[in-house]
């Protein structure tokens, strides 16, 4: 710890995120966790904004909140079949609330899990209640594994003293609008997932994360941030998969992911100087994890990995392009309304 404490803060954060993500990934695959790519995904969600990991009490409260929020989806599954229109309205409102919550400091993980509860769980519940219950257990265990991984790695690469940390910025005043904007990004992917839950489940997860990313970027940055991070994440996934072909081993998977995450996290924390925002690099990491996790599952199930990857990547890019276009259309509509209201309020004469 004394040696790592001498490292610059940005370097410590890069090492911490990369090591925790790859370690949790190795544990999730090693113990045979269902949907094992979910656990390292939670690491990125929890650790993207650097801070000490939650303590045991906070973990228990977080897991209870997760169980409650995800269990809501069990109730929405039957409603989605019996009364689809009211169910979709409830899901849209639930997505708005979860997006709004995720924008609060320290609430990103809870907000993301609540969004999963309003989307992924109802879809699984409409197929099989047992499948939805299994998925809830997988998500709860995944977040527990992610936090335990943080506990193990954080002492090696700690933050500076609390007094040296920058103050947390206040929540933006337009959070409600940003939450609705993110909701409109998630809904089309969710509707598509209803047609094929097993095939399009990663797409819904990607759209939720894309909605979070869209809430952090400006309109002029949307194409570069949303589409660019998706493309780069796909390229990184291809490179890691190609390197894995030389030696198919969990330890090699751990090593290549460690290297890839270290390079990408160095961009997120400023070790590697670029003009790209941290959200770009975080979006790249999450896309890479989802694509690689899906590819491993396709390989285990005997599917054509490369064909499935191309289809999945095309869908991810389509969602990213839609997100950028939706942002442009919604912002244009909003600007027109503001201008119209300003004209109506202006004194005549």
* Closest to 50 (Cα-Cα) out of 108, 132, 120: 108
Q: If 0-12 CB within 10 Å is exposed, 13-18 middle and 19+ buried, where does residue 51 land?
A: middle
Q: Which residues lie closer than 8 Å to 102 by C-beta, 6 or more apart?
A: 108, 110, 111, 112, 114, 115, 212, 215
DSSP 309-335: HHHHHHHHHHHHHHHHHHHHHHHHHHH
Whether residue 20 is predicted with pLDDT greater than 80 in this model: the reply is yes
- Give the integer Cα–Cα distance in Å for 69 and 121: 10
- Give the integer Cα–Cα distance in Å for 248 and 260: 17
The pLDDT of residue 259 is: 96
- Give the integer Cα–Cα distance in Å for 171 and 184: 21
Name the H helices within the chain.
Answer: 2-5, 9-30, 38-47, 56-82, 84-102, 108-127, 129-153, 175-195, 197-214, 222, 228-244, 250-268, 278-300, 305-345
Locate 52 and state its tokens. Answer: 């000490």
Whether residue 349 is predicted with pLDDT greater than 50 in this model: the reply is no
Q: How many CB atoms lie within 10 A of CB 245?
A: 7
Rounded to an integer, the average pLDDT of 200-224 is 76
DSSP 270-301: TSS--SS-HHHHHHHHHHHHHHHHHHHHHHHT
Tens-place pLDDT, residues 97-150: 888 888 887 777 778 888 888 888 888 887 777 778 878 888 888 889 999 999
Q: If 0-12 CB within 10 Å is exposed, 13-18 middle and 19+ buried, where does residue 334 land?
A: middle
- Give the integer Cα–Cα distance in Å for 180 and 188: 14
DSSP SS3 for 56: helix
| Per-residue pLDDT band at 162 (split at 50, 70, 90) | low
pTM over 0.95: no
Rounded to an integer, the average pLDDT of 297-316 is 86
Higher pLDDT, residue 340 or 207: 207
| Per-residue pLDDT band at 264 (split at 50, 70, 90) | very high
The pLDDT of residue 258 is: 96
Q: If 0-12 CB within 10 Å is exposed, 13-18 middle and 19+ buried, where does residue 42 land?
A: buried
- Give the integer Cα–Cα distance in Å for 141 and 145: 6
Higher pLDDT, residue 247 or 266: 266
Locate 87 and state its tokens. Answer: 């169910």
DSSP, res 54: P
DSSP SS3 for 25: helix
Locate 220 and state its tokens. Answer: 């002029």
């Amino acid at each position: 710890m004394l040696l790592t404490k001498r490292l610059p803060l940005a370097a410590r954060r890069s090492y911490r995120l990369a090591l925790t993500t790859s370690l949790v990934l190795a544990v999730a695959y090693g113990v045979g966790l269902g949907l094992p790519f979910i656990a390292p995904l939670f690491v990125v969600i929890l650790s993207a904004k650097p801070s000490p990991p939650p303590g045991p009490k906070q973990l228990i409260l977080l897991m209870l909140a997760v169980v409650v929020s995800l269990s809501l989806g069990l109730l929405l599954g039957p409603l989605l079949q019996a009364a689809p229109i009211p169910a979709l309205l409830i899901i849209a409102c639930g997505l708005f609330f979860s997006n709004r919550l995720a924008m609060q400091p320290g609430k990103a993980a809870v907000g993301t899990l609540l969004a999963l509860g309003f989307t992924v769980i109802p879809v699984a519940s409409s197929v099989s209640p047992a499948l939805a219950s299994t998925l809830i257990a997988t998500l709860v265990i995944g977040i527990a594994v992610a936090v335990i991984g943080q506990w193990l790695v954080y002492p090696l690469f700690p933050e500076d003293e609390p007094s040296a940390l920058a103050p947390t910025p206040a929540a933006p005043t337009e959070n409600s609008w940003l939450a609705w904007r993110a909701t409109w990004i998630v809904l089309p992917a969710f509707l598509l997932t209803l047609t094929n839950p097993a095939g399009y489940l990663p797409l819904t997860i990607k759209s939720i994360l894309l909605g979070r990313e869209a809430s952090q970027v400006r309109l002029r940055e949307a194409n570069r941030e949303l589409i660019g991070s998706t493309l780069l994440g796909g390229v990184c996934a291809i490179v890691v998969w190609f390197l894995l072909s030389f030696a198919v081993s969990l330890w090699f998977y751990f090593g290549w992911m460690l290297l890839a995450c270290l390079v990408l996290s160095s961009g997120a924390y400023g070790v590697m100087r670029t003009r790209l925002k941290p959200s770009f690099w975080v979006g790249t990491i999450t896309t890479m994890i989802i694509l690689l996790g899906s590819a491993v599952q396709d390989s285990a199930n005997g599917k054509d990995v490369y064909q499935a990857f191309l289809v999945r990547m095309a869908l991810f890019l389509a969602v990213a392009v839609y997100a950028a276009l939706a942002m442009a259309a919604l912002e244009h509509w909003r600007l027109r309304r503001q201008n119209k209201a300003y004209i109506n309020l202006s004194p005549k004469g």
